[in-house]
């Protein structure tokens, strides 16, 4: 039986030990994904003056979308099954949901740091690199500075920072974990519906607890899951269909405040409203206070997942519906579903601009790098660039060069 590209992609990063070093995978020839963008996307991004980070799960890619002049610029960094992404204080945090799970930290180095470590200051550069590499210091550099490892069965999804504490959804085991800066975790929150299971509450995936609407505390936050009925592992698969079984949990009471959703994701607070993706219906909507009602804002041509806000726009991720998972998206025509991002004008409720990856599959999360009009990933200049930047770029806490 001939292997499809999707089959090959799904087999990538399955060796736990190899994933520790995140090596390039040789089993699948990688080419940069093709894109299709609406004509108004570049002018819109130029007006908004921001970089957008997008995690492409099945492509194993972190994408940075920005504009240079009036030209769309997209860079990619290969990461095993990237899921949640969060940006704060010039730090980009990405969760990698392969075994072992990883939380990767990138720091945005401003021009001050880069100017002190440009190739002209380095005496041991290989011949011919100076001019080539110097040209790639025109925008702030996102450089990896740390990774934290977590067990693979955690299946980490969303990642958020609350009061300088890092929290992740441990989707595989039904709780939210607080991650310690030097490694390790502690269980910080879980929905009340699993309490009655005792020790079994955190042994398997009962709920698909997957997203966090970040509040000032965990108690002021909200969470989405596919189910609140922990009768068996992944109980929504009873009859193979999660339609109407999805829920929203309130942080303070740990109780379900709304039911009737289908594979909800990406619950977010924005301007005193609670927004979420009713993914299986291809919708973006608003949940009224205390879960009194849910209102659809827009219906999109894909499994909606990944949500952030910028100015008067909601930026929503879209995923294709893979044929064997059609029961997860009863509100969509799987054959017409797309992989990409759409810009929803919050004033009109209409999709105003689009970016799609025609050969792509899954978007998990989206994050704007607020206040950052341009940024560079270490891979932007070719396959050797990561080695170059990790070898030569550095800084110390006083802001002086570190060669």
Q: What are the extents of the domains in the chain?
A: 5-105+150-368
Question: Which pLDDT score is estimated for 401?
Answer: 43
Q: Concatenated DSSP letters for 131-181?
A: HHHHTT-SS-EEEEEEEEEE-GGG-EEEEEEETTEEEEEETTTTEEEEEPT
DSSP state string for 298-334: EE-SSEEEEEEEETTEEEEEEE---GGGGGG-TTS-G
Per-residue pLDDT at 121? 44
Q: Collect all residues with Cβ–Cβ distance below 8 Å to 402 and sequence separation of at least 6.
A: 117, 394, 395, 396
The pLDDT tens digits along the chain (403 residues) read 466 878 887 878 777 766 766 555 555 566 778 999 999 999 999 999 999 999 999 999 999 999 988 899 999 988 999 999 999 999 999 999 999 999 999 988 765 554 344 444 444 444 444 444 443 456 788 888 899 999 999 999 999 999 999 999 999 999 999 999 999 999 999 999 999 999 899 999 999 999 999 999 999 999 999 999 999 999 888 777 799 999 999 999 999 999 999 999 999 999 989 999 999 999 999 999 888 899 999 999 999 999 999 999 999 999 999 988 999 999 999 999 999 999 999 999 999 999 999 999 999 999 999 989 888 887 754 445 556 666 655 555 554 444 4
Torsion angles phi and psi, residue 224, rounded to 5? -115, 155
Place of tokens 């799904």: 10
Query: Model confidence over 216-266: pLDDT tens digits?
Result: 999 999 999 999 999 999 988 877 779 999 999 999 999 999 999 999 999
Q: How far apart are CA 97 and CA 103, in angstroms?
A: 9
- Residue 282 near residue 304, CB atoms below 8 Å: yes
The answer to whether 145 and 107 have CB atoms below 8 angstroms apart is yes
pTM for the predicted model, two decimal places = 0.88
Q: Is 5-105+150-368 CATH 2.120.10.30?
A: yes
């Amino acid at each position: 039986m001939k292997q499809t590209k999707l089959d090959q992609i799904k087999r990538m990063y399955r060796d736990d030990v190899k994933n520790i070093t995140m090596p390039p995978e040789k089993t699948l020839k990688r080419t940069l994904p093709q894109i299709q963008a609406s004509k108004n996307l570049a002018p819109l991004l130029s007006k908004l003056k921001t970089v957008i980070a997008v995690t492409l799960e099945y492509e194993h890619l972190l994408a940075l979308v920005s504009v240079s002049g009036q030209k769309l610029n997209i860079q990619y960094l290969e990461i095993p099954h990237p899921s949640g992404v969060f940006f704060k204080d010039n730090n980009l945090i990405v969760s990698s949901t392969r075994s072992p799970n990883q939380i990767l930290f990138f720091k945005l180095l401003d021009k001050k740091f880069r100017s002190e470590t440009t190739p002209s200051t380095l005496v041991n550069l290989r011949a011919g690199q100076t001019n080539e590499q110097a040209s790639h210091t025109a925008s702030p550099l996102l450089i990896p500075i740390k990774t934290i490892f977590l067990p693979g069965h955690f299946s980490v999804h969303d990642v958020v920072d609350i009061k300088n504490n890092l929290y992740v959804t441990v989707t595989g085991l039904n709780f939210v974990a607080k991650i310690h800066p030097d490694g390790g975790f502690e269980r910080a929150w879980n929905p009340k519906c699993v309490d009655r299971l005792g020790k079994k509450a955190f042994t398997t995936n009962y709920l698909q607890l997957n997203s966090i609407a970040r509040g000032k505390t965990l108690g002021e936050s909200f969470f989405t899951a596919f189910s609140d009925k922990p009768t068996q592992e992944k109980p929504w698969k009873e009859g193979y269909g999660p339609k109407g079984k999805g829920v929203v949990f309130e942080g303070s009471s740990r109780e379900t405040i709304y039911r009737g959703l289908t594979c909800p994701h990406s619950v977010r607070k924005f301007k005193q409203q609670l927004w979420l993706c009713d993914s299986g219906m291809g919708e973006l909507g608003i949940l009224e206070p205390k879960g009194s009602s849910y209102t659809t804002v827009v219906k999109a041509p894909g499994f909606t997942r990944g949500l952030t806000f910028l100015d008067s726009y909601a930026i929503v991720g879209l995923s294709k519906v893979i044929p064997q998972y059609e029961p997860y998206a009863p509100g969509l025509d799987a054959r017409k579903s797309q992989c990409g991002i759409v810009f929803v004008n919050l004033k009109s409720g209409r999709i105003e601009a689009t970016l799609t990856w025609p050969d792509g599959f899954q978007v998990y999360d989206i994050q704007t790098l607020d206040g950052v009009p341009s940024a560079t990933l270490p891979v932007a200049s070719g396959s050797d660039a990561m080695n170059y930047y990790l070898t030569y770029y550095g800084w110390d806490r006083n802001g002086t060069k570190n060669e």
